[in-house]
Structure 1
Amino acid sequence: MGGCPRLVSDDDREFIIATATTGPVALGRRFTHWSLRKLIDDLSRNRATPDRLSAWGRPSPEAA
């Protein structure tokens, strides 16, 4: 089909969902609920590879 290619792979999607459905406390964070900002920050700082970051709305290292 036409249109833009997907930016988030199926593996990335599963990874994001798994992180989002795990309580932050279980991952060693000091808060009890995810906000979208905290979730993106956690994924980008602790679990994401640079190619994932650009797909999640953060600048890729090449763009810097």
Structure 2
Amino acid sequence: MTVCLLTLAAGIDRDCDAVVAGLALPWSSGVVEGHVNRIKMLKRQIFGRVGFNLPRKRVHLA
């Protein structure tokens, strides 16, 4: 468990500017992350079942 905490602390220290900006700035990438999550879910649902046209159409219509 100590190794995990040290690894986490090292990662936060390495990305210190990004961490400070994420906590201090009012902007959020939540909307973009939601779209990426939705597309990944659609891909998982139809993986290996059909050709390329149906997944493409489903992503555009969803």
Taking structure 1 as the reference length, what is the TM-score of the superposition? 0.29
- Greater helix content: 2
Taking structure 2 as the reference length, what is the TM-score of the superposition? 0.30
* Higher RCO (C-alpha 8 Å, min separation 6): 1
Greater Rg by CA: 2
